Structure 1
């Protein structure tokens, strides 16, 4: 199998190639399909991003013009299909991203790492707000998964939803338990009266132990 034409593909490019591998599409249809499938949560993009990605993939020979459509006075719509090079590149990119465990930067982890800088009561309040949003997202994902199952869609086409549901449930359980521990004062906090961790030098020492696993 030949080498990829353009190196690692960005997430939006993988989505676009995956769509035109199904059937020829014009860019706005690609955008609509991605949103309808809720795959817009897999990569950050807007309609303009989709058009820019399509132009770049076409210039690299990964997709090609399949047809140019025009209805009435509406602007022309260029329909694209995947090329053999594009199909090979998509295959190789999928192999890479399925196996790779990249370093990612979830905001939740950053929030938890630095939450000790806020008062205990405020952290309880803020995490409770976050839990509401997380539970709403979980309900939406559960509803979406139920809908695709009812349509008879094979599970292989929505594995990402199952993984997101499982991950979100685990995060909700963990954060909910943390909120209970904060409320019950079963976890130490910087603003506790007489806390031995008050003071920048003490905090630095504790974080050094955390980083070095001591």
Structure 2
């Protein structure tokens, strides 16, 4: 876990799940594992992150509740500051994360926290940035004497970036055309 807990890759999806409903550490751990199998999630990490997020004022703890014979569990809910931070993290992930990254995937997962026009605008900006990167990738010369067989990753990465651009532009178009049922008002 990074020294700055707010930089942990689990923070964005944890905040996103708390937008949906307050939860305790065990519930969050279970939901993270079910929804995002590609993430490494432990209950101890989730508990530590919840404490750090509470200290930062992004979540607030509720009184522990007992359900059945289970031990009392403390649920956490987002604060107003937490919702604003979450939106900012989504925007940053959409705008600044590298192509084909988990950070971008997590930001896309919670894109609907933003107004539709804002989301589409950020996606357009990302596609424009990636298009510039693609031009640079395509114009980069293969080093002299290096066989094409040793540079296959360059072609692969160009294909990944080109595919990202196409997918992102199509998503922005679908948002603007209302093909995607967008919330009238983002959550919280």
TM-score where L is the length of structure 1:
0.43
Which of structures 1 and 2 has the bigger CA Rg? Answer: 1
TM-score where L is the length of structure 2:
0.49
